[in-house]
Chain A
């Protein structure tokens, strides 16, 4: 084997390993898109609010947007929401915008929003919204699932399960 041939083979092996790594990595995370592409898919989403009016997610572009997939039947989802309300109150003026996507019935969502004094909009998402969360890395389509987008609309963080207050704080401090 000539040195040239040897290095060609090594090169081929390297590319194959890299490709395999990317492929299996994507399969594991369920995210075939780049942060920009995934962010664009999310921004292009239009869902009804509890009153039935369609709302596009890109109306908040330019802000730091935290999209939280939740449901009233999901106790861990409800438990973290008071922290989101607090953060919205503290940092809303600096351009932080929480948006809920409830995989739930509108009447239950409205009732719960009133009960906890929700100070940010929440939209109603069905199975399509869950499928979207799957494409963003939530492969089991479980809740809560939270996505943080920077001011350019690129996804900078995804979180399955509770987004801990300290983590949330450190992410938004960097972005605001």
Chain B
């Protein structure tokens, strides 16, 4: 039976056809309501720039950004702090790929994985909330505003560690994994 069979058939058949029509109407409405043009299937920034961290020892954290293929982060927009203190922590960022920018001059960007050691100044207690600010773009031709991500890390006792890697944005379970 065709999806849009006409109403000349028997009664049950007609019911099915009408139900099919209702479904078609429903999906048409989906199309009408989504006016935003050509969304090139962009990931939200937390997924494009996956942030995770672990405690290497009681005085050192290790922050990681896993940058999805087709996306990049700006080196000079990366900041780390502890919540609630929120003072920028001085870190040594790895060198990025240098890009000549017409307006800003030399700009360094990261792709793939970025690993940064974050030193803790004073004994911060049993756990810390590491806050990472980052800003990046997609090769598809859009940029995201600065994005803040957080992880809570339990600190190992002095002389022990490292602790487990903690994701800021846990991977969603879907039908395929």
B176 adjacent to chain A (CB < 8 Å): no
CA distance A21 to B26 in the complex (A): 5
Q: Give, as a whole number of angstroms, the nearest-CB distance from A64 to chain B.
A: 17
Chain B residues, Cβ within 8 Å of A25: 29-34
Q: Give, as a whole number of angstroms, the nearest-CB distance from B120 to chain A.
A: 30
Chain B residues, Cβ within 8 Å of A18: 22, 25-26, 29
Of the candidates B11, B25, B29, B135, the one whose C-beta lies within 8 Å of that of A73 is B135
CA distance A29 to B34 in the complex (A): 5
Known A25-B34, A28-B34, A137-B35; contact A77-B29, beta-carbon cutoff 8 A: no
Contact present for A138 and B36 (CB under 8 Å): yes
Of the candidates A14, A21, A140, A159, the one whose C-beta lies within 8 Å of that of B37 is A159
Binds A, one of B57-65, B137-145, B149-157, B160-168: B137-145
B interface, size bucket: 35 or more
Chain B residues, Cβ within 8 Å of A47: none
Of the candidates A3, A22, A76, A159, the one whose C-beta lies within 8 Å of that of B143 is A76
CA distance A157 to B35 in the complex (A): 8
Main secondary structure of the interface of B (DSSP, over half): mixed
Given contacts A28-B34, A29-B35, A31-B35, 19 further A-B contacts (CB under 8 A): A13-B19, A16-B22, A17-B25, A18-B29, A21-B33, A25-B33, A25-B34, A31-B33, A35-B35, A74-B137, A74-B142, A75-B143, A103-B145, A136-B36, A137-B34, A138-B36, A142-B145, A143-B142, A155-B35
Residues in A lying within 8 Å of B, measured CB to CB? 3, 6-7, 10, 13-14, 16-18, 20-22, 24-26, 28-31, 35, 71-78, 103, 112, 115, 130, 136-144, 155, 157-162
Interface pairs (13), CB distance under 8 Å? A14-B21, A17-B25, A25-B31, A25-B34, A76-B137, A78-B102, A103-B145, A143-B142, A143-B145, A155-B35, A158-B37, A161-B141, A162-B141
